[in-house]
Amino acid sequence: MSLFSKLRPDMLAKTVRDVDYGAVYASGIRGIIFDIDNTLVAHGMPADGEVKSFLDGLSALGFGICLISNNKESRAEPFASFCGTKCLCRAGKPRRSAFYRAMDLLGTGPSETLFVGDQLLTDVLGANRAGLTTCMVIPVDRRSERGDIPMFLKRFLEYGVLRRRKRFDERA
């Protein structure tokens, strides 16, 4: 598998709410791992009733839910506790072990797990390396990333990869 293919999400969606979870469930997926910051909420924002209701709805469909974050426990655990979900903090994405630990929490394997995140270089790369189905969403709020030079560089690289994918898909 080439590096480019490891950076290629299986699905693209504008937001987490735009994914067809009925079709995902029909495909055999039973666990969903979500990144938190800029995937479910703007970076650093707390969980709210809307996010909790969304995750509760997915649980009602039959999905196990786990939140995964490279952030500290003080950020991720209160978020997950409010939402009533499992959580993995200081995950170390894009290491495969982070995704394997999250699947252990869910009791699913790679073929039964969807990962949803907003970054190619941590989220999609790591989940693809672990063999999960991947979905990339547009960041909830890019303004929260202003002044963050490492994030700017990652987003610049992501833009190039996504443009290349679009050109490739148009030719296919």
Residue 172, pLDDT score: 42
- Alpha carbons 164 and 22: distance in angstroms, whole number: 30
Query: Largest alpha-carbon pair distance within the chain?
Result: 46
- Alpha carbons 169 and 49: distance in angstroms, whole number: 38
Residue 1, pLDDT score: 54
Residue 8, pLDDT score: 84
Contact 55, 36 (CB under 8 A): no
63: left (phi over 0), alpha (psi -120 to 50) or beta: beta
pTM of the model: 0.83
Residue 166, pLDDT score: 53
> In 120-148, which residue ranges form alpha helices assigned H by DSSP?
125-129
Distances (CA, A) of 74 to 70, 78, 90, 145, 148: 12, 7, 10, 20, 21
List the chain pLDDT tens, one digit each, 172 residues. 555 577 788 998 999 999 999 999 999 999 999 999 999 999 889 999 999 999 999 999 999 999 999 989 999 999 999 999 999 999 998 899 999 999 999 999 999 999 999 988 889 999 999 999 999 998 887 555 555 555 555 555 666 666 655 544 554 4
Total Cβ atoms within 10 A of residue 77: 15
Residue 168, pLDDT score: 46
Contact 6, 128 (CB under 8 A): yes
Q: DSSP character for 106? A: H
61 Cβ contact list (under 8 Å, min separation 6): 21, 22, 25
Distances (CA, A) of 33 to 16, 18, 23, 146: 12, 16, 17, 26
> Which domains are assigned to the chain?
3-171 (3.40.50.1000)
